[in-house]
């Protein structure tokens, strides 16, 4: 059987040689592999694949069958016929009219007009064999009936012979199946250019371990054995291509690295072995392999389009290109605070992506020529918004599974929410380079891509009211436009941040409201933390959404009402008051109402008819009312067009008397607490009055009333000392609930007349 197949192959080869000349060679390269494909009635069935790569400038590959041989030391040789697989629509090579498939990728780098370039098509054959049993050394062999293409690194060009091995002693096994394209072509690199790569990517159906290696090409007849085809002087199986840094192979991944330095057409043979771990012998056992030969053209110059990456090289259907003069480029640099923009000529080329919609979180880039996937990192890009602020890029997504990609997607930390042009700039990333093309060409640093965005809601907001409520709490209210009702904006809403500054001090974040609808509600705060008398507070609100801070609103403070002086006689008081302008309401529409009224409980005042003024000071004439009582004065700002809600100031609280509160020589310097916090921390534990810089305090009595007017504490001979002072307890010793209480102090003044001082006290725990 061995002799018969040898004679048959020899005759076929001789016939082919007689029918063609050496210039009509057409077998450039090939591959063979197999796949375990059992059926219910044939558990030893395998499918075998043979692919021939044809030089489309040579003779055609005819015939619809391919003979293979199954050889082993265990069983007689057997021949099988494989059937041609015709390409489906769209996959037929345009330069091969006899069943050749398209081979992609050869012209990514190599110049198609170079004499070393080879236009290839692939002719595919497949069929089934049945193994006669188990054996360590099954060999599936195949030969080409005609000669190889001439190559720069081979001494001769006899026919091509390939064989794949199979050891089924550990059970069925598929060979590694090569998935990467055989289309490999390069151009001569300069000594300092980045190395180039190609991959012979394979998968194994049984997940056996795969090892890649280089081997010697062979010629021979169908059932073998093969005869080594020698390399020309200066070339070896391990170094088949002249390279500045040699040819290296990652045996685990099948990635080859080189830097071609010589024009030519170079034959490379790659073997992919697979090993399986034997649990009985506890060792790795060789179970088979597959083989691919490729012929790699290296042209003197790169394909012109491959060099276009320095001018962006983006797919024309995805971008338009604009030429910027130096003046426009300088304006762009200034607007986006760029240190540099790559200049490829007197006119700088700027790419502009097709329009992006608001709230998109990915920027897709498609390239005419492949990029090296391992050269792409998020730090290769810098995205700057129309507000000149850098927008973080958190990840790069690449859907390709090989070394190269024509399409990447930049994932942003936050979506695009600003109308206008974002600027995407290519930078040297943390990997020390920009983007690197398949052919070793690099993108010019500081190249610019414009990313236009439209359709974004534009939020507008402003403080609408700063109001002091009942002399204790400050309420801040803001309003926003209809953009805040946008569903997408709500989805990405962050917070309303409210800031406060006390007496022109530093701005402090007071509160963050995380509901977009809070723009329609009031936020109350104050009490013991913010004393509304003698302190001025300014506010602004800022919107956060989609990771953007949208800037402060208008700044506004509350009205702070102060008593300047008092002139009094027996019938009436003239109280001089002043306050700051309330700037939320426009000046041409703003007026003030000055109210005064009488307390009938701690928090309730019966207000009298107000006095109106357009200035921020007044001498208020108040007729004295006989009897003991607390009185209050406030100011309200009103809008003549009723667009803004009114706002009121803090209150001035006083007792009409012969000598109004605050003017007696005994009491004008007294420091009376307005907060009690008996929690054991040593601060504000009890109600102790300090004389300040005034004379010694006289004896006095103290009464404390609840908000409803109930007397909760009384001491006619109040002991104003740390050990005896009142600490927020009722007469029975129980702690009072926290809240606002009214105190009343009575003493004899310097004239011997009884004086009263009253005020409000916050009790907190």
In SS3 terms, 422-464 reads as: EEEEECCCCCCCCCEECCCCECCCCCEEEEEEECCCCCCEEEE
pLDDT at 532: 82
Cα–Cα distance list, 682 to 596, 718, 728 (Å): 38, 21, 14
CA 626, CA 571: separation in Å to the nearest integer? 10
User: Within 10 A of 513 (CB to CB), how many other CB atoms are there?
Assistant: 16
Q: Residue 720 pairs with which residues in a beta bridge?
A: none
Q: What does the pLDDT average to over 445-473?
A: 91
End-to-end CA distance of the chain: 105
pLDDT at 247: 95
pLDDT at 15: 39
Which element (helix H / strand E) includes 490? helix 487-491
Query: pLDDT tens for residues 7-20?
Result: 444 444 443 333 33
pLDDT at 308: 60
CA 59, CA 158: separation in Å to the nearest integer? 15
Give yes or no for residue 692 having a pLDDT over 80: no
Query: pLDDT tens for residues 235-247?
Result: 999 999 999 999 9
Least confident segment among 79-93, 308-322, 694-708 = 308-322
Q: Rounded to two decimals, what is the model's pTM?
A: 0.69
- Looking at every residue in the chain, the average pLDDT score rounds to 86
Give yes or no for residue 368 having a pLDDT over 70: yes
Domains of the chain: 2-176+215-230+275-293 (no CATH), 304-454 (2.60.40.1220), 461-557 (2.60.40.10), 561-654 (2.60.40.10), 675-763 (2.60.40)
The residue to which tokens 């080594």 are assigned: 228
- Confidence bin at 664 (pLDDT 50/70/90): very low
User: Six-digit token pair at 216?
Assistant: 């010697």
Query: pLDDT tens for residues 64-118?
Result: 999 999 999 999 999 999 999 999 999 999 999 889 999 988 988 899 999 999 8
Q: What does the pLDDT average to over 584-594?
A: 95
User: Six-digit token pair at 100?
Assistant: 């050749």
pLDDT at 346: 63
Name which of 213, 437, 181 is nearest 296 in CA terms. 181
Give yes or no for residue 500 having a pLDDT over 80: yes
Give yes or no for residue 660 having a pLDDT over 50: no
Q: What is the dihedral of CA 437, 441, 444, 445, to 10 degrees?
A: 70
pLDDT at 5: 45
- Greatest C-alpha distance within the chain: 143
Q: What is the dihedral of CA 362, 367, 370, 376, to 10 degrees?
A: -40
Strand, helix or coil for residue 714: strand
Give yes or no for residue 547 having a pLDDT over 60: yes
8 Å CB contact between 439 and 453: no
The residue to which tokens 């507008």 are assigned: 460
Give yes or no for residue 659 having a pLDDT over 50: no
Q: CA geometry: angle at 108 spanning 105 and 114, to 5°?
A: 105
Least confident segment among 170-184, 201-215, 513-527 = 513-527
- Confidence bin at 2 (pLDDT 50/70/90): very low
Query: pLDDT tens for residues 334-348?
Result: 889 888 888 766 667
Q: What does the pLDDT average to over 165-189?
A: 93
The residue to which tokens 């595919």 are assigned: 124
CA 140, CA 163: separation in Å to the nearest integer? 5
């Amino acid at each position: 059987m061995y002799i018969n197949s040898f004679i048959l192959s020899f005759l076929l080869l001789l016939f082919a040689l007689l029918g063609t000349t050496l210039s009509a060679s057409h077998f450039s390269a090939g591959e063979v592999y197999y796949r375990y494909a059992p059926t219910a009635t044939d558990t030893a069935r395998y499918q075998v694949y043979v692919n021939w790569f044809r030089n489309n400038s040579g003779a055609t590959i005819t015939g619809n069958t391919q003979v293979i041989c199954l050889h082993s030391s265990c069983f007689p040789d057997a021949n099988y016929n494989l059937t041609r697989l015709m390409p489906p629509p769209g996959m037929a090579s345009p330069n091969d009219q006899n069943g050749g498939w398209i081979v992609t990728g050869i012209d990514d780098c190599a110049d198609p007009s170079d004499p070393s370039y080879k236009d290839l098509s692939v002719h595919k054959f497949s069929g089934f064999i049945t193994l006669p049993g188990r054996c360590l050394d099954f060999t599936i062999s195949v030969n080409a009936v005609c000669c190889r293409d001439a190559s720069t690194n081979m001494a001769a060009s006899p026919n091509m012979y390939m064989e794949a091995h199979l050891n089924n002693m550990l059970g069925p096994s598929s060979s590694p199946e090569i998935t990467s394209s055989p289309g490999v072509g390069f151009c001569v690199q300069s000594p300092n250019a980045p190395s180039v790569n190609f991959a012979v990517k394979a998968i194994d159906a049984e997940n056996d371990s795969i090892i890649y290696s280089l081997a010697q090409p062979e010629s021979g007849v169908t059932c073998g054995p093969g005869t080594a085809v020698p390399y020309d002087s200066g070339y070896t199986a391990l170094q088949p291509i002249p390279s500045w840094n040699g040819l290296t192979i990652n045996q685990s991944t099948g990635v080859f690295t080189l830097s071609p330095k010589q024009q030519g057409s170079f034959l490379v043979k790659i073997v992919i072995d697979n090993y399986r771990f034997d649990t009985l012998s506890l060792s790795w056992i060789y179970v088979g392999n597959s083989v691919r030969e490729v012929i790699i053209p290296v042209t003197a110059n790169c394909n012109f389009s491959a060099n276009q990456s320095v001018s962006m090289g983006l797919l024309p259907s995805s971008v338009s290109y604009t030429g910027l003069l130096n003046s426009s480029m300088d304006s762009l640099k200034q607007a986006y605070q760029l240190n540099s923009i790559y200049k490829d000529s007197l006119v700088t080329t700027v790419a502009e992506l097709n329009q992006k919609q608001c709230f998109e979180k990915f920027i897709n880039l498609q390239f005419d020529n492949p990029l090296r996937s391992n050269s792409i990192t998020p730090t290769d890009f810098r995205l700057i918004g129309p507000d000149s602020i850098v927008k973080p890029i958190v990840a790069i997504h690449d859907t390709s599974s090989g070394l190269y990609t024509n399409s990447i997607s930049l994932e942003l930390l936050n979506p695009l929410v600003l109308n206008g042009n974002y600027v995407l700039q290519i930078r040297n990333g943390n990997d020390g380079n920009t983007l690197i093309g398949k052919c070793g060409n690099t993108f010019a640093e500081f190249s610019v891509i414009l990313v236009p965005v439209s359709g974004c809601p534009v939020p507008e907001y402003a403080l609408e009211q700063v109001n002091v409520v009942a002399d204790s709490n400050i309420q801040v209210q803001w309003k926003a436009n209809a953009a805040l009702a946008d569903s997408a904006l709500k989805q990405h809403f962050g917070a309303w941040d409210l800031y406060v500054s006390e007496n022109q001090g530093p701005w402090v974040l007071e509160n963050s409201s995380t509901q977009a609808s809070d723009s329609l509600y009031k936020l109350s705060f104050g009490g013991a933390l913010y004393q509304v008398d003698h302190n001025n507070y300014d506010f602004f609100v800022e919107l956060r959404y989609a990771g953007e801070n949208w800037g402060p609103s208008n700044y506004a403070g509350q009205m702070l009402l102060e008593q300047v002086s008092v002139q009094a006689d027996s019938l009436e008081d003239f109280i001089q008051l002043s306050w700051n302008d309330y700037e939320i309401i426009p000046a041409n529409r703003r007026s003030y109402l000055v109210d005064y009224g009488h307390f009938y409980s701690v928090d309730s005042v019966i207000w009298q008819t107000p006095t109106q003024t357009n200035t921020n000071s007044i001498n208020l004439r108040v007729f004295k009312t006989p009897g003991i009582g607390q009185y209050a004065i406030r100011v309200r700002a009103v809008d003549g067009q009723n667009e803004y809600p009114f706002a009121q100031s803090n209150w001035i609280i006083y007792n009409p008397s012969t000598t109004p509160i605050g003017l007696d020589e005994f009491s004008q310097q007294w420091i009376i607490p307005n907060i009690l916090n008996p929690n054991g921390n040593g601060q504000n534990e009890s109600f102790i009055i300090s004389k300040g810089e005034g004379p010694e305090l006289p004896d006095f009595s103290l009464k404390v009333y609840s908000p409803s007017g109930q007397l909760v504490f009384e001491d006619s001979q109040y002991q104003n000392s740390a050990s005896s002072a009142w600490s927020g307890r009722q007469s029975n010793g129980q702690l009072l609930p926290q809240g606002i209480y009214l105190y009343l102090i009575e003493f004899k003044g310097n004239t011997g007349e009884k004086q009263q001082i009253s005020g409000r006290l916050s009790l907190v725990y």
